Structure 1
Amino acid sequence: MSHHLPSKPTLLAILVSVLCAPPLYAADNTAADNSADQSAATSDETVEVLGQTYRNTATKTKLTPEETPQAISVVDSETLEQRGVSSVSEALRYVPGVNTELRGGAVSRLDLFNIRGFDNYQNSYDGLLLQYNGWNLQPQIDPIAIEQVEVFKGPTSVLYGSMPPGGMVNLIAKAPRHEAITDVSVATGTGNLKETTLDSSGELGNPDVTYRLVGLARQKDGQANTSEQERYVFAPSVDWQVTDKTLVNVNLYYQKDPAMGIYTTVPASGSVYSNAHGDMSADTFLGDKNWNHYDKDVTLVGYKINHEFGNGWAFLQNARLFDGSAYQRNTYNAALNSDGRTVNRNAYMTDEESHGIVVDNQLSGLVTLGQWQHNLLLGVDYQRLHSTVGYLDTIDYSAGSIDIFNPNNSQLDGDNLTFNYQDDEDIRQSQTGFYLQDQLRFDRLVLIAGGRFDLYRADTDSDTLYYSTASTTHSRIDQQQFTWRSGALYELGGGFSPYVSYAESFEPVAGIDKHGDAFKPSTAKQWEGGVKYLSGDGSKTATLAAFHITKENSLVTDPDNVYGAKLQTGETVSKGIELEGRWDVTDQFNLAANYTRLHMEITRDTTALQGKTPVWVPNQTASLWANYRFERGLVQGVTLGSGLRYVGEAEIDAMNTGKVPDYVLLDASVRYDLSYLNSKLKGAEAVLTATNLFDKEYYSCYDTSNCWFGAERNIEARLKYRF
């Protein structure tokens, strides 16, 4: 099997790429109105925790979510730790408008979720896109390296380029700190979990140089029979305050995943639907332990340069190199056979490598004209990805059948498999974006407007061998798009701020129509209106948002079916409401709740899909989480947390022939400060977390042949020590 491996970038190439990726990033934003003093103070405290190079995901400035005329949800580090999350998907479980773990609980090799009904395979890490090759090499960031998670709802292309219209997730990295703090932990739990973590920070012999070092080692059994999960993370970063006005940050993130569970599915019959032969269990595995392997390496090397020019002008350049590889051996299933208990299988393998660069340059300025305060943002970003993929497939179901109720997971011998299909792909993608934003404040009125122009290109060369027939193809996407957004928010008395906004997004579309004309990018637009609330003492926050998203120019089947040609006339509408709130009832007791009602429909199509709802889109979701800290008595030092998650029913397939049932799950956590037990244990803490406490069986489905069991009950006990 031959592979076309890209050459690794030389130092000269890296420097040329950086220098040619135009001017720079931006950002200080300061509230001018005295009524916003408290918000500004809160922002300053946040910046201290998140680092001087932190920018709000929704604006690329330091504007707080309460001042932003668009919905944004934030999950902070304390919440991440409290709930014991081990993936980005788990971190999003209590965020309104987000449906997580679309491929069930046993699949951990990618973070897949949808926002407002639109699937999302890509996250951003510290404001830069985690580049994804469209196959199986998706960079993941472990929560051990994350300070907080920010979910920006609705179209985000004006600031970030090609993005799904439902929104984006930005993972904020842990930043260096002056304070010398080291946290270590060990954990055990369900699935023979063995985990140790390290998080250390402080000064490197000089107050101008600070560091952060994060590390993790984890091993456990996967949910599916015979599967395993294993991960190692090493993530150091250094801040150098070169002058009073210039900060340089250098950062590294390395992750090794030698084993990541399974990727195979189960049929709906015997899981979602009853089967005369019985029911499968949530740990059912229909693959083969001799042909189930996934090994991924991801290295991210980056830097940030933050410079304050004075007079309200600032510059930030954020850049990162990406190097990754993934090797996979797996199987996939045909439809359930007529006997009602066996499925035929194909074996396949992929060998992938990716090398990329992302640079975001922003220049910002604070300009006051009369009573109007302008926060100007000018940016140019650039990204390039070169990926090679080698794919082999038996395609004739020679991998044999398996009994879904009594699976034999040791049938395959890799040396005796015959691969009748081979595809070697060489993929090159690049995108350059130019954007401008003005954020205005006049007394209590906040306005925002921005526009962006993108140039996108992708070239794919494919060498295919089908049995003895060889072919070579080349395809190109060469598209450009302008997007814009605007919004207004007014700070009423009593902490209420109504807002309205309009935003656009785009996604490139490959191919040509039957006339030979290249397709245009698929575009989307959203109208959103709502109200935000922040009490005077900051103890209560809430956001109510109503939205209407229309996505156009999706590909549909040509009714004339001319050589399998496609038309670009598809349209999908997503509309709904989201409610999110938090209340610190007392210093000891707080509540967080959210609710989403969503209606999604394909409104234009040439086939029977018109009027249907896509899969993986529940009609309602809701959650409630409560914390209580005991300060007296024998339980002094204990913090109890408990949460309920509700996910409504969804369609089982594209034709809407049935439903995936709704479900309610209970999660819980207990934290105990051990210094209350013995003063010599100061800095030590015991944490017990449980998800799906009652071990509720639930499902997610793409169609009736491809379903996944949800995550089983998971219990984790952790001992932490800070010094």
Structure 2
Amino acid sequence: MDLSGPVNANKTVLYRLGVAARTSESFLDFYDQQRYNVAPSLTWQINDRAKLTLAAEYYEAKGPIDLGIPAQGTVLPNPNGKIPRNRVVGEPGIEDFNSRAYRVGYDFGYRFSDNWQLRSAFRTSFLRQDRDFITGNLAADQRTFARFYNTASFNDDVYNFDTYAVGKFATGSIRHQVVTGFNLSREDTFVTNSGSAIASLDLFNPQYGSQPARPTARLLDYRIRNDALGLYIQDQITLLDNLKVLLGGRFDIANNDYQRLDIVLGGFQQNEAFSPRVGIVYQPIPAVSLYASYSRSFLQAGFISRAQAEPERGTQYKVGVKADLNNRLAATLAFYDLTRTNLPTQDPNNPLLSILIGEQRSRGIEFDVTGEILPGWNMITGYAYTDAEITKDNTLTVGNQLNNVPKNAFNLWTTYEIQRGNYKGLGVGLGFYFAGDRQGDLANTFQLPSYSNRQSR
């Protein structure tokens, strides 16, 4: 349900209220999930120069946790046969996931003139999660699943304040559009996890109903505080009507205070980084745009279970062309090269922990066509080829493909809306997505098959 409208007679105060509730089952046994969402907002047009929006949101999700079934017996051979795809390795009634999120913030804009304006926004969110789930490993007989019960809590508080100015001016015949401002953020993360043994499960003849012992092993107990200050400036320069250049940069100061309480480990570190950004767009003819860009990125370590983890850094190169095929259809073709370092990924020996796998590089081609084929008939379609591999690592093989990244992906979404008559405005839509084969783990020991997904509305 989505309601909106004016609050007062002169329509300077507007409200909007979104409410949603969803329950979903699955092909998995014992699966039932509920989600609830309430999102109110209020906008006040103070005068012709200033506008203020207040927004809040509450989100809740309840349901079981499923971490999947072993590869042996699904995508790899198993001497005992195939594991049914609906099999659950946990315990019904014991595994549970309860997530609650609270968000509130404001967005304020003030226009000094036709060429200059100021924007200021603040948002805070509080995430509370309680998790009861079962992990385990497949035994040598490839049918017995040795299990371990985990109970955990995850609390995450995020505060983000962003203020920037946007201005337009000219230096002779050269036009500028400048964006400059600062971003201040804080994130507090609290994680506790304990566990105990629970009876093993025969994956081919499961007998449910086991109860875990009282949790005695404290697996994790840590606190992380991340503070960051970012200063940025960007100038979009119009040199000629058909030639534009983008120059920008961001300087970040970020610190990480980590305390691992269960094993008395911790540390504090601070990092500074400058991230440049350069782009150019050239139009040889009005219908064709050639573009290229270079950018660096910096991301302080957040939810990661190792002290003093290095921040993630990235470098991207991109070139492409956008063409208006006619006044209704446009096509884009792009080539990119993205390298990321110090990336956290799930520890294969413990899904609650993270490890740094070194350096990854993704190269690929993206092609898409969007627009209106006929009056009322719209289409979005695209193809992506991605070559994502490990380029540096101390334990994994260099050249291995990244897991769960298909080399080939294709999507198509089309809608039609009746243009006239009593049913004008009524529409239908149909979508299709295809993902090719992809690696199941970073060691590239097995592949996951391709799949497709169809949607309609």
TM exceeds 0.5?
Answer: yes
Taking only aligned residues, the RMSD between alpha carbons, in angstroms, comes to 2.7
Name 2:254's counterpart in structure 1.
456
- Superposition deviation, residue 390 in structure 1: 1.6
In 2, Cα distance between equivalents of 1:480 and 1:347: 41
Written as runs of structure 1 = structure 2, the 5 A alignment for 1:7-86 is none
2:47 matches 1:243: yes
Q: What is the aligned counterpart of 1:401 among 180, 184, 200?
A: 200
2:343 matches 1:549: no
| Post-superposition CA distance 1:36-90 (Å, at most 9, x none) | xxxxxxxxxxxxxxxxxxxxxxxxxxxxxxxxxxxxxxxxxxxxxxxxxxxxxxx
- Superposition deviation, residue 339 in structure 1: 2.1
Indicate how the Cα distance of structure 1 residues 553 and 346 shifts in structure 2: closer, same or farther if over 3 A, else same. Answer: closer
Name 2:352's counterpart in structure 1.
none
Structure 1 stretch displaced more, 304-313 or 651-660: 651-660
- Superposition deviation, residue 225 in structure 1: 1.4
In 1, Cα distance between equivalents of 2:208 and 2:106: 46
Q: What is the aligned counterpart of 1:532 among 322, 336, 347?
A: 322
Indicate how the Cα distance of structure 1 residues 429 and 232 shifts in structure 2: closer, same or farther if over 3 A, else same. Answer: same
Indicate how the Cα distance of structure 1 residues 529 and 637 shifts in structure 2: closer, same or farther if over 3 A, else same. Answer: closer
Name 1:475's counterpart in structure 2.
267
2:82 matches 1:279: yes
- Superposition deviation, residue 218 in structure 1: 2.0
| Post-superposition CA distance 1:186-229 (Å, at most 9, x none) | xxxxxxxxxxxx10111002411111111112223344211221
Report if aligned partners of 1:494, 1:535 keep a CA contact under 8 Å in 2: no
In 2, Cα distance between equivalents of 1:525 and 1:203: 46
Question: Matched residue of 2:14: which SS?
Answer: strand
In 1, Cα distance between equivalents of 2:419 and 2:180: 50
Q: What is the aligned counterpart of 1:432 among 219, 229, 234?
A: 229
Indicate how the Cα distance of structure 1 residues 324 and 435 shifts in structure 2: closer, same or farther if over 3 A, else same. Answer: same
Name 1:357's counterpart in structure 2.
159
Name 1:703's counterpart in structure 2.
none
Report if aligned partners of 1:265, 1:333 keep a CA contact under 8 Å in 2: no
In 1, Cα distance between equivalents of 2:410 and 2:42: 40
AA aligned to 2:261 is D
AA aligned to 2:161 is V
Name 1:613's counterpart in structure 2.
401
Indicate how the Cα distance of structure 1 residues 403 and 544 shifts in structure 2: closer, same or farther if over 3 A, else same. Answer: same
In 2, Cα distance between equivalents of 1:635 and 1:248: 37
Indicate how the Cα distance of structure 1 residues 209 and 476 shifts in structure 2: closer, same or farther if over 3 A, else same. Answer: same
Written as runs of structure 1 = structure 2, the 5 A alignment for 1:548-627 is 548-552=337-341, 570-627=358-415
AA aligned to 2:54 is V
AA aligned to 1:271 is T
Higher share in strand: 2
- Superposition deviation, residue 451 in structure 1: 0.4
Name 2:294's counterpart in structure 1.
502
Report if aligned partners of 2:370, 2:380 keep a CA contact under 8 Å in 1: yes
Query: Identity, % of aligned pairs?
Result: 27
Question: Matched residue of 1:616: which SS?
Answer: coil
AA aligned to 2:224 is I
Indicate how the Cα distance of structure 1 residues 536 and 241 shifts in structure 2: closer, same or farther if over 3 A, else same. Answer: farther
In 2, Cα distance between equivalents of 1:620 and 1:435: 36
Question: Matched residue of 2:156: which SS?
Answer: strand
Question: Matched residue of 1:615: which SS?
Answer: coil
- Superposition deviation, residue 249 in structure 1: 0.7
- Superposition deviation, residue 462 in structure 1: 2.0
- Superposition deviation, residue 519 in structure 1: 6.8
Name 1:679's counterpart in structure 2.
none
Q: How many residues align?
A: 442
Written as runs of structure 1 = structure 2, the 5 A alignment for 1:297-316 is 297-316=100-119
In 1, Cα distance between equivalents of 2:318 and 2:96: 44
Question: Matched residue of 1:224: which SS?
Answer: coil
Report if aligned partners of 1:371, 1:443 keep a CA contact under 8 Å in 2: no
Indicate how the Cα distance of structure 1 residues 668 and 460 shifts in structure 2: closer, same or farther if over 3 A, else same. Answer: closer
In 2, Cα distance between equivalents of 1:352 and 1:622: 36
Question: Matched residue of 2:374: which SS?
Answer: coil
| Post-superposition CA distance 1:683-714 (Å, at most 9, x none) | xxxxxx4xxxxxxxxxxxxxxxxxxxxxxxxx
AA aligned to 1:225 is D
Indicate how the Cα distance of structure 1 residues 337 and 636 shifts in structure 2: closer, same or farther if over 3 A, else same. Answer: same
- Superposition deviation, residue 489 in structure 1: 0.7
- Superposition deviation, residue 270 in structure 1: 1.9
In 2, Cα distance between equivalents of 1:606 and 1:271: 30
For structure 1, the residue ranges without an aligned partner over 5 or more in a row are 1-197, 465-470, 511-515, 557-566, 670-688, 690-723
In 2, Cα distance between equivalents of 1:235 and 1:585: 35
Name 2:278's counterpart in structure 1.
486
Indicate how the Cα distance of structure 1 residues 306 and 233 shifts in structure 2: closer, same or farther if over 3 A, else same. Answer: same
Report if aligned partners of 2:290, 2:320 keep a CA contact under 8 Å in 1: yes
Question: RCO (CA 8 Å, sep 6+): is it higher in 1 or 2?
Answer: 1
Q: What is the aligned counterpart of 2:69 among 228, 244, 266?
A: 266
Question: Matched residue of 2:140: which SS?
Answer: coil
In 2, Cα distance between equivalents of 1:630 and 1:520: 55
Name 2:59's counterpart in structure 1.
255
Q: What is the aligned counterpart of 2:210 among 395, 411, 417?
A: 411
Indicate how the Cα distance of structure 1 residues 634 and 250 shifts in structure 2: closer, same or farther if over 3 A, else same. Answer: closer
In 2, Cα distance between equivalents of 1:555 and 1:424: 19
Question: Matched residue of 1:275: which SS?
Answer: coil
AA aligned to 1:412 is Q
TM-score (norm 2): 0.89
Report if aligned partners of 1:588, 1:628 keep a CA contact under 8 Å in 2: yes
Report if aligned partners of 1:316, 1:363 keep a CA contact under 8 Å in 2: yes
Report if aligned partners of 1:222, 1:261 keep a CA contact under 8 Å in 2: no
Question: Matched residue of 1:399: which SS?
Answer: strand
Q: What is the aligned counterpart of 2:191 among 358, 383, 389?
A: 389
Question: Matched residue of 2:209: which SS?
Answer: coil
AA aligned to 2:337 is H
For structure 2, the residue ranges without an aligned partner over 5 or more in a row are 346-354
In 1, Cα distance between equivalents of 2:112 and 2:422: 56
| Post-superposition CA distance 1:585-641 (Å, at most 9, x none) | 101433321111111222223345212112111111112233345679999987443
Higher share in helix: 1
AA aligned to 1:250 is L
